[in-house]
Amino acid sequence: MALLIRLLLAWSVLTPPISLAATLKSLETLVADADAGVDALPMPLPPSLDPWYRAPDDMDWEDSDPGTVLKIRHAPRLNQTVGNALTAYHVLYRSTDSEYNPSWDVTTLFIPLWQYRCSASAPALCAHALLSYQIPYDTCNVDASPSFGLHVGEPYGEISDALSLGWFVAVPDYEGPLASYAAGVQAGHATLDGVRAVLRVAGLFGLRTHVTKVALWGYSGGALASEWAAELSVQYAPKLNVAGIALGGLTPNVTSVTDFINGRECAGLIPAGLLGIASQHPAAMNWMLSRLKPTGPYNAATFLSVRHLTAAQSIALFRYQNMYNYFVGGWWDIHVPRVMRLMYDVDGYMGYHGVPRMPVFVYKAIHDELSRVEDTDALVNRFCGVGANILYHRNTAGGHNQELVNGRQRAFTWLASILDGSYDTIYSAMGCTIVNVTYDLTPFVPWD
């Protein structure tokens, strides 16, 4: 394909952002525009300063369908920081927030290196699999979104490994424009709409969309987005065919997690999570802000500083702190008021928005120190009781961080069976299989 030849020649160069007026430009024209002017764009601005990350003001995008592509541009130099990528694009698309208002999100589409062999005369060499990989970025700082953060490197290596298998890979900024960390409905919508948007443009890069199989994968915060996508797909995206979903280190209950990690090394995830989920619920946000202590060692300014921090920085700042000390009413302010309970009911508890209709692989360390394994057990049992098809591995070795590594190859093996069509010949396609396993590939290092 001529387009792919141009992509190969444009391996490490940048192109200027463009906007889409859907009534005036086809997707072909949109991508062609993104291929032009390759010398014009410097290193990208962070999302908070980059106007490209805002919905276009030259079209009635709110009236478009979820998953409609609004903008597309080359993703600067990501093929240099992520291995096995021919090139990458940022795609901004219409989505829906937790209160079901029109919103937008961004996903990063990586095209595998081997796709340069794809042509009309050799369709067998063209990719036919799409993995939506949800990175656990765990912060309410929009400038830590993957579409920007990946410019400094890939944190875990799964994107590169997936690309090496010839899969197209999409990495959504599923927290959305408000960096709504821990807001389940927002994350699920963004993940599903990211897939819909990519399927609308990926055929231009040789993906055989008429036979493409789609899978979702995420660990920890990325599993949160993926699981909510599984639940919400039934009613929000009933025509989107997702073949399977892999979920590692699940956090099914945000209030349980808050209590569990408070006062421990990863307590810094609490302010990020509270501010992230409340960004979708103005009444809850206003309540929380009104209850923060204005002065003293546990003050509002320190608590709110997480809006400008990465997850690692938040953890370092607040480790071992009792986060309830930042509130006038302590624990009560976060768990009891009606506005807070309504927020959690909408966005904080998995298992109440739909039953996954696709095969699911769940893997979790029994000694997970971020989220109790009993919460994941209860979620799996809930779904299994109403006909879900789940393989659940409860690992006797390691903790939350270790299972990221311990479960990686099992997840890849399972995902490969989904994407190559061999799932039914390897795994049980009916009911649930729940087993304790022992995979110990990395030393156990507890949070505290």
Gyration radius of the chain's alpha carbons? 21
Query: Does residue 400 have an active-site annotation?
Result: yes
Of the residues 353, 368, 371, 417, which is catalytic?
Answer: 368
Of the residues 220, 226, 233, 371, which is catalytic?
Answer: 220
Of the residues 226, 281, 400, 417, which is catalytic?
Answer: 400
For residues 19 and 47, is the Cβ–Cβ distance under 8 A? no
- The neighbour count for residue 253, using CB atoms within 10 Å, is 22
| Amino acid sitting at position 105 | D
Query: Does residue 121 have an active-site annotation?
Result: no
Query: Does residue 97 have an active-site annotation?
Result: no
Please give the positions annotated as active site.
220, 368, 400
